[in-house]
Structure 1
Amino acid sequence: MTRDTARRGELAGRTALVTGAGNGLGRAIALALAGCGARVILTGRTAATLTKTASLIKDERLARVAPADVASPGAVAALREALAAEEIDLLVNNAGIGGPVKALTDIEPGEWDEVFGANVRSVYLMCRAFLPAMYNRGSGDVVNIASVTGKRPLTRRAPYAASKMAVLGLTRTLAFEAGPLGVRVNSLSPGPCRGERMTRNFTREAAATGTTYEQAEQAFVSRAALHRLVEEDEVASAVLAMLRMPGLCGADIDLSAGMIAPA
């Protein structure tokens, strides 16, 4: 991590399961957790990228690769069985896709369902599979990666915006189910993060609007008070900070460089 926020050993003895851990935010979060001593189970659809993340964790004992499509009920059930011997007490639901860049009237039902499957059903399935063990132990943390787009309109991105707002609603409601059983549930809403996903999004937006890539990026970041993108390591640092706040439950943390500030 480039920021001095990791405290070596503070998560020793904890086991984290991170979805979408093969790249981007998932990789950054997994590396930060391992840097604090947590054993990290890396899951996602592509074994090769998960293995790459695992190779970046210095202590190989702290990494386990467990490929799965977390939007699939059958795959999540199989993952739960494969990890039955692990005492997972930290679940980071990061997996998701950006979806189409189109007007709502041009979006096909299959495209809509794909976004909700990856961004919302995956959170439901993973919580349904791994929360019962946390309840039995009386402790645990769930961090759902939402998005500032769930709180502020983004034209031609209706499925993504709606799915991230759904994650916020799921988080707040689940917190009241899980909290009395000793499990904290919170969400983190990043703004636009520098990385492959935003590169793809800006490219698609430029094509849809007839502008250049640079113009699409500037139009997006100009909505933020700091007029910049958020860095992936900032998001990872925010997850660590959330875990250090024992009274945090049912909350959403905004990390958007001021994206939701009034224009």
Structure 2
Amino acid sequence: MTLQGRTALVTGGGGPLGRAFALALAGAGVRVVLVGRSERALTEAAARVTEQGGAARTAVCDVADPASVTRLATELADEDVSLLVNNAGVAGPVRPLVDIEPDEWDEVFAVNVRGVYLMCRAFLPRMTAAGRGDVVNVASVSGKRPLLNRTPYTASKMALLGLTRTLAGEVGPHGVSVNSLSPGPVRGPRMDRNFRLTAELTGCSVQEAERDFASRAALGRLVEEEEVARALLAMLAMPGLCGADIDLSAGMIAPA
């Protein structure tokens, strides 16, 4: 099964993981449309893609805003998007639930769940009409096991797993596969931020916070961005994969 010649839309395309997805897809011959809120970050990511000989386009969009997503769908009416990677997400606060404000909770669900719903709602009709397509929702291993002081994030990723499985049943008969990819701790700016916040909350050092988190994984380490990108390509190479969740967490398990 080849990806050559297909067009992929990657949300959160200006972030580290979105950029890794774009580079991997472009390397497989996919035309990439990078979507996000920061035009500068998108332009930089697209430049990386073109530097390696790939084809990339950018579009500014807030996936949590229905009007913005509608404008995006209109702007991309000339693109045959047959692959949607819902990667946009926010980490949210690192505090006990009782110390989290309602607007902080709502922001996490707006991007992590509502954004996926809006993007699928906008782009799935084209795929089902064509009788082919793939949707990959970037979830998290945190949606499958406890992550203390991260209630809104964990709850949003659990919701995303339910969305994925249900949507797969709806659009699978039309030739569209929907799956989720659940990374564990991915090395990068977001995890660095979480380690700093955990250190502030618990009084440990940033290094201790990282070691404690990584020790929960069977391999005792964080996952690299490039590993997650390769997992995406592997999923797309399995045409029978539908309604599934792929765990890429270095063997992350729930804390005792």
**1:52 equivalenced with 2:44 (yes/no):** yes
Q: How far, CA to CA, are the matches of 1:172 and 1:108 in structure 2?
A: 30
Partner of 2:133: 140
Deviation at 1:243, TM superposition (A): 0.2
Q: Which residue among 113, 121, 125 is the counterpart of 2:118?
A: 125
Per-residue CA distance 1:110-145 (angstroms, 9 max, x = gap): 000000001000000000000000000000000000
**1:157 equivalenced with 2:189 (yes/no):** no
Q: Which residue among 170, 174, 180 is the counterpart of 1:181?
A: 174
Q: How far, CA to CA, are the matches of 1:60 and 1:43 in structure 2?
A: 20
Q: How far, CA to CA, are the matches of 1:59 and 1:32 in structure 2?
A: 10
Contact kept, 8 Å, 2:161 with 2:180, in 1: the verdict is: yes
**1:31 equivalenced with 2:32 (yes/no):** no
Partner of 2:5: 13
Q: How far, CA to CA, are the matches of 1:42 and 1:159 in structure 2?
A: 26
Distance 1:59 1:228, change over 3 A: closer
Partner of 2:188: 195
Deviation at 1:219, TM superposition (A): 1.0
Contact kept, 8 Å, 1:54 with 1:60, in 2: the verdict is: no
Deviation at 1:13, TM superposition (A): 1.4
Q: How far, CA to CA, are the matches of 1:59 and 1:212 in structure 2?
A: 39
Give the counterpart letter for 2:186 in structure 1. Answer: C
Deviation at 1:153, TM superposition (A): 0.4
Q: Which residue among 71, 82, 102 is the counterpart of 1:89?
A: 82
Three-state SS of the structure 2 residue aligned to 1:141 is strand
**1:107 equivalenced with 2:94 (yes/no):** no
Contact kept, 8 Å, 2:33 with 2:59, in 1: the verdict is: yes
Give the counterpart letter for 1:41 in structure 2. Answer: V
Gaps of 5+ in 2: none
Q: How far, CA to CA, are the matches of 1:260 and 1:68 in structure 2?
A: 35
Q: Which residue among 204, 210, 216 is the counterpart of 1:223?
A: 216
Partner of 1:254: 247
Give the counterpart letter for 2:68 in structure 1. Answer: A
Q: How far, CA to CA, are the matches of 2:172 and 2:37 in structure 1?
A: 30
Contact kept, 8 Å, 2:29 with 2:54, in 1: the verdict is: no
**1:172 equivalenced with 2:165 (yes/no):** yes
Q: How far, CA to CA, are the matches of 1:41 and 1:93 in structure 2?
A: 12
Deviation at 1:55, TM superposition (A): 0.5
Partner of 2:35: 43
Deviation at 1:262, TM superposition (A): 8.1
Three-state SS of the structure 2 residue aligned to 1:69 is coil
Deviation at 1:233, TM superposition (A): 0.2
Partner of 1:3: none
TM-score scaled by length of structure 1: 0.95
Q: How far, CA to CA, are the matches of 2:191 and 2:40 in structure 1?
A: 22
Q: How far, CA to CA, are the matches of 1:159 and 1:261 in structure 2?
A: 17
Three-state SS of the structure 1 residue aligned to 2:137 is strand
Q: How far, CA to CA, are the matches of 1:45 and 1:32 in structure 2?
A: 21
Q: How far, CA to CA, are the matches of 1:242 and 1:145 in structure 2?
A: 12
TM-score scaled by length of structure 2: 0.97
Deviation at 1:261, TM superposition (A): 7.0
Partner of 2:199: 206
Q: How far, CA to CA, are the matches of 2:202 and 2:80 in structure 1?
A: 48
Q: How far, CA to CA, are the matches of 1:77 and 1:204 in structure 2?
A: 36
In angstroms, what is the RMSD of aligned CA positions? Answer: 1.3
Contact kept, 8 Å, 1:146 with 1:167, in 2: the verdict is: yes
